[in-house]
Amino acid sequence: MQEFTVRPQPDDPRLTRSVAGIDHEGRPIETAVVMERPLTLFLNGREIVTMMTIGDHPDYLAVGYLLNQNMLRPEDRIASIDYDDDLETVVVRTDHETDFEDKLKKKTLTSGCAQGTVFGDLMEKFEEVRLDPAAVLRTSWLYALTRKINTAPSLYLAAGAIHGCVLCEEDRPLLYMEDVGRHNAIDKIAGYMHVNRISPAGKIFYTTGRLTSEMVIKTVQMGIPILISRSGFTAWGVDLARQAGLTLIGRAKGKRFVALAGGERIIFDRDVRAVEDEHPKFARKASQGEDAA
């Protein structure tokens, strides 16, 4: 795959809206704000969830959500994906009823029971995954990736209030997805990989969001051995990464980064003295929202 096979489209008029306001000196301004709209997901006629999303790539978001919630297994064959913009719905149909639907029939369908079932399945699958022990991350790749991703045109730079996730290979960013929630952005990439049969072998995952348990679990489920963020960590995220053998790198800004799990995969092949610090303009922009949900 070439660099940025999929990338953000900050000029797409459906994704942002200009809003009038005033600045800190009381002067009138016009600023771009990110749109968010509901998307209701159905699996074989059963309503699953309504997500708030910017609205691009609804098909990949739907498939990725089902995969990462363990409602759809890699071996399940997708017969069709139908998106209706007017109804704000996406329907994923498989050849046969899935295991998830069968499990739900045995439960009282309250939100607690449904979520408990999903969480139990997530952790069961998480414990079964074995990440590639031979995978490596060269620091030269890390520095090149952060520079390319941080300077690429994006909604993140244009309007803020959004998270980005990027599938990478060596020093090449391949798929760059954005959404109002980091979980949506990662689900879009998972869906794209599944639909287009892209292997996780040799891949690196980058996110602008925090390294939480959710991000770690989804990355491990996707079979990707290295997860990088410009933001920080949660304790449970670190614990789960160590349990799964995931390389977990946070606070990756300019020449600096911190690895709290899987440090044995890192090859220090770049003289840090030759690496430029992060551009102040981007650092200010990113610091405004790097710890957002």
DSSP element (H, E) containing 186: helix 182-195
Note whether 204 and 76 are same-domain residues: no
CATH of the domain at 120: 3.10.20.10
**End-of-domain residue from the set 108, 128, 148:** 128
Mutual orientation of helices 139-151 and 280-287 as an angle, nearest 10°? Answer: 80
Poorest-confidence range of 90-104, 135-149, 230-244, 248-262? 90-104
Residue pLDDT, tens place only, 83-107: 999 999 999 999 988 777 666 654 4
Q: Is 76 within 8 Å of 94 (Cβ atoms)?
A: yes
Domain co-membership, 142 together with 276:
yes
Rounded to an integer, what distance in angstroms lies between the CA atom of residue 10 and that of residue 18? Answer: 13
Domain that holds residue 108: 37-128
**Domain closes at, from 128, 148, 177:** 128
Q: Is 93 part of any domain?
A: yes
Q: Are residues 75 and 147 in the same domain?
A: no
Question: Which CATH number do you get for residue 164?
Answer: 3.40.140.10
- Whether 287 shows a pLDDT value over 80: the answer reads no
pTM exceeds cut of 0.75:
yes
159 and 119 share a domain?
no
Query: What was the pLDDT predicted at 109?
Result: 36
Domain count, the chain: 2
Say if residue 118's pLDDT is above 80. Answer: no
105 and 159 co-located in one domain: no
Residue 53 lies in a domain: yes
How far is the C-alpha of 76 from the C-alpha of 97, rounded, in Å? 9
pLDDT of residue 100: 73
- Residue 225, classified by CB atoms within 10 Å of its CB into exposed (0-12), middle (13-18) or buried (19+), is buried
pLDDT, tens only, 186-232:
999 999 999 999 999 999 999 999 999 989 999 999 999 999 999 99
The pLDDT, as a whole number, for residue 121 is 65
